[in-house]
Amino acid sequence: MKDSINQTAHEKLVNRPPRIRDLVGYFLRLGTFGFGGPVALCGLMEKDLVQERGWLTKQEMRDAIAVSQSLPGPLAIQVGIFAAYLRGGFWGAWAGGWAFILPNFLIVAALGALYVHFGGLPWMTAIFYGVSPAVIALILHSCWRLSKLGMEDWLQWVIATVCFVVTIVFQAELAILFIGAGIIGILYYGNVIRRSKQPPSAAAMALIPLAAGATKTAAYSSTLSQLFVFFFKAGCLTFGSGLVIVPFLEKGLVQQTGWLNGREFLFAVAVGMLSPGPVVITATFVGYLVGGFWGSLVATIGIFLPSFLLILFVAPILIRHRENPNVQGFIKGAYGAAIGTILGACVLLSKIAIGDWLTVLIAICSLVVLFRWKVSYPLLVGVTAVIGLIAFPLLQPQWVLVK
C-alpha cells in the first residue's frame, strides 16, 4: 500500500512539469557543483530528477541516457538537454542546456585567463595528481548506478562486454558499436523479424549517428573559424560519454595543428577533469589558449552545438514512438553498448590518472568511500585535491609530467 501511494505521488510530480526558470535554476546549480565527469553527472541527474524531484520517470531517464549515448557528443549535456526537452519543450531544452554549460564555461575561461596571464599553473599538476584517481572511482561508482538503472538481461551484458573490449583495443568509442548494438536490440527485443517492414522511427534512429559521422567541414583561414570547425567536428564525431575525447583532441591539437604542446594539452585535460560539468569543457580552455576569450567562446559553442541539434531532432521521434518494440529494442541494445564503452573509457583514462602506489590507494579508498558512505562529489574532489597538493612536491612523480 505504501509503495502504491509513493508511486502515485511520484506520477503526480512527473505530470506537473516544472517551469523553464526551474529548469534553468537546476541546471545552473548542476553545472556549478556537478563534479566527476559525464557518468557521475548522469548519476546525479537520475538521483535528482527521478528519485527526489520526480520530474522524470525511471523509463524516461533510461531513454534519455540510451539515446544520448548512441549519438555523438558529451553524454551528460545531451541527457540534460533531453530531460529539459521532456519537461520544458523546445525552449526549455535550449535554456536548460546552455544553463548547464554556462558555469563550466565561466570557470574554465577564467582558468584559461590565469594560465595565459601567469605563464602556467604549476599547482594544477599537483591537483591533477590527487584528483584524477578519485575521478576514476567516481566513474566506476556512477557506472554501477547506471547499470542498475538500465541493464536487464544477458544480451545487454554481452553487448557491454564486446564494446568494452573493442573500446580498449581501438582506444576510442566507435559509432558502429552503438549502431550495431541498436540493430541487435531491434532484432532481439523488437518485432522486426515478425514483420515485413521496419518502422521508420527505428530506422531513423539508427541512421542519425551515421549522418553525423559523415559530416564534412571546410577549412577556414581565421583562427576563430578553425577553432569552431575543429570543435564542431569533435562534437559530431566523438561518440558517447566524452571520456575518450582525449585521443581525438591530442591528435588534432598537438600532432596536426600544433596549437598546443604536450604539457599544455595535459593541463587542458586536467582542467576538463577538475572542473564541474562534462569533460569536453576542455574545449573552452583550449580555445582561450589559442584565441583568447572569443576563442574560448567559439570553441565552446562548436563542441556543444551538435548536441542540441541532434537531441532536438531525435527527442520528438522517441516521444512519439516510445512504446514501439523496435525503438525500445534499439534503446536496450544501445544502453548495453553505453555501459561497455564507458567502462572501456575508464580503463583508458586510468592510464593517465594512475601511475604509482599513492594514486592506486586514492582510487581504491575513493571507491570504498563512495560505496560505503553518501559522500558528496565536491567534498571527495576537494579532499583528494589537498592530498595532491601535499604529496606531489614530496613524491615528485615524473610519470605525471610525461604522460
Name the least confident of 61-75, 188-202, 326-340.
188-202
> In a 10 Å sphere around its CB, with 0-12 CB exposed, 13-18 middle and 19+ buried, how is residue 245 labelled?
buried
- What pLDDT shows up at residue 157? 94
Q: Chain-centre distance of CA 98, in angstroms?
A: 15
* Grid coordinates given for 138: 567516481
Measuring CA to CA, how many Å separate 129 from each of 36, 84, 305, 379, 403?
Answer: 15, 35, 32, 17, 12
Residue-wise pLDDT for 172-190, tens only, equals 556 677 788 888 988 888 8
Among candidate residues 73, 94, 109, the one with its CA nearest the CA of residue 27? 94
Average pLDDT for 253-272: 74
Average pLDDT of the chain? 78
- What pLDDT shows up at residue 367? 92
* Residue pair 254/289 in contact by the 8 Å Cβ criterion: no
Q: Is 239 helix (H, G, I), strand (E, B) or coil?
A: strand
pLDDT at 72 over 90: no
Percent of the chain with pLDDT over 70: 76
* Residue pair 195/374 in contact by the 8 Å Cβ criterion: no
pLDDT at 210 over 80: no
Q: Which residues lie below 8 Å from residue 356, measured CB to CB, with a gap of 6+?
A: 395, 397, 399
Name the least confident of 192-201, 228-237, 312-321.
192-201
* Grid coordinates given for 142: 556512477
Residue-wise pLDDT for 341-399, tens only, equals 878 878 877 887 888 999 999 999 999 998 888 777 778 888 998 999 999 989 888 88
Among candidate residues 236, 230, 300, 281, the one with its CA nearest the CA of residue 259? 230
Q: How many CB atoms lie within 10 A of CB 332?
A: 26
Among candidate residues 240, 382, 376, 253, the one with its CA nearest the CA of residue 307? 240
Among candidate residues 313, 314, 304, the one with its CA nearest the CA of residue 232? 304
Q: Which residues lie below 8 Å from residue 392, measured CB to CB, with a gap of 6+?
A: 125, 126, 129, 130, 400
pLDDT at 34 over 70: yes
| Per-residue burial over 273-299, b = 16 or more CB atoms within 10 Å of its CB, e = otherwise | bbbbbbbbbbbbbbbbbbbbeebbbbb
pLDDT band at 319 (very low <50, low <70, confident <90, very high): low
The pTM score is 0.66
- What pLDDT shows up at residue 305? 92
CA-CA distance, 108 to 118, in Å (whole number)?
15
Looking at per-residue confidence, does 156 or 8 come out higher?
Answer: 156
Measuring CA to CA, how many Å separate 174 from each of 179, 184, 221?
Answer: 9, 16, 30
DSSP of 2-53:
HHHHHHHHHHHHHTSPPPHHHHHHHHHHHHHH--SHHHHHHHHHIIIIIIIS
Average pLDDT for 296-316: 88
Q: Compute the chain's Rg from CA coordinates.
A: 21
